[in-house]
Each structure stands twice: as structure tokens, then as C-alpha cells.
Amino acid sequence: MTIVPDKSSLTAQIAFAVEIDKLKRIIRRNLLMDGSRRENDAEHSWYAATLAMVLGEHAPPGTDIQHVIAMLLVHDLVEIDAGDTFIYDPVAVAAQAETERAAADRIFAILPAEQAARLRALWDEFEARETDEARFAKAIDRFAPILANHHTEGGTWPLFKVSAAQVREKVQIIAAGSPTLGAYARELVESSVASGHLPE
């Protein structure tokens, strides 16, 4: 017996596929590691998900890395509506939660109900940071731009007048998800300070 696919479900999934393509046009602050241009959100999501796979051994024991990867692939979809919030801008950060929640309500609801609930749950879990998977995903999310800025002689840190104290605060989030990556990120920060690429 041939199972006929639900056309309305496929239509919703294709609409979602078209919508999330917009993530490619959301430009982030940090540069690519060759310094040629700024990164877009889709590139960041792919890179973070790949880093989670490669660096999974540095997650807490028992962490479900496939779950982490799924979270990282959807964590920035809300920026299609909300834009990329600069984490060192306190005014923007204060408004971030409400803006991104409204974006999540709209974007995930494009999908069929069951899929919408599953992907929205991943996003909610990432934001709440209450599981080992979410804390490790957040650690990777924060680790990637520090790594990029370190390898581009400070990258956009000087441009946006970011201080070492501000970056060290983000390192604490990395350490909460992975002590190993937190220690490594701390070394990157201190190296950047010593080389004059990140001001105290």
C-alpha cells in the first residue's frame, strides 16, 4: 500500500525552508578567520554545530551531542526577525529576550504543529540553559567568536571598543558548559590582551 504524503504538511515545511534561507543575510559582528569579511548567521550556526561535533569530548559526561547539534542549528533562527544582538551592548541585550521570543512564536509556527513544537522546544531549552546540553551549546556559541577574534588580531573587538573585562564575563558562560573550553578561551583572552589586540 502506497502512503500518500500530507500535502499541507509538505507545503508548510517548504514554506519554513524558504523562510530560514533568510538567515544567510543576517550579518554578525565578527569576521571570518581570514579577515576578509563579516560572518553571517547561517555560517555561524553551521560552524557552531560542527564545533560541537568535533569538541564533544569536552562536554560534561553523558551529554547528548546530537541534541546539542540540533539546538545549535536552530538557536539563531529568531534573528531572521530580531537581527543579531551585539552581546556587548547592554541596551540591545535588555530588549533581546522579548524580541526573540516574538520571533520564535512566528517562525517556528510556520511548520506543521508537531515539528513546530519540537524545534521550538530546542530553542527554549537553549535559551534556558538548564540542561548539560544547553550549557554546552551556549559554551560553543560563545567560544566561536572569541576564537575568531583571537585569530584576526582582535577582529571587531577594537572597532566596537570591547574590553577584556567584558570578554572575560563571556568566558564564564563557556566555562559553565565546558571547563576545558573555558580554560582555553581564558588563555585566548589573555594572549589577546598581552598582544595588544584586546584592551584592559
- pLDDT, tens digit (0-9, with 9 covering 90-100), for 133-151: 999 999 999 999 999 999 9
CB contact at 8 A, 142 and 181 = no
pLDDT value for 6: 61
Here the cell at position 62 is: 553523558
CB contact at 8 A, 126 and 169 = no
Q: How many percent of the chain have pLDDT more than 70?
A: 96
User: Does the pLDDT at position 86 exceed 90?
Assistant: no
Sign of CA dihedral 134, 118, 84, 155: positive
User: Which architecture does CATH list for 7-194?
Assistant: Orthogonal Bundle (1.10)
The single-letter DSSP state of residue 2 is: P
Domain coordinates of the chain in residue numbers? 7-194
Q: Which residues contact 108 (CB under 8 A, 6 or more apart)?
A: 77, 116, 119, 120, 123
Beta bridge partners of 38: 31
Here the cell at position 188 is: 585566548
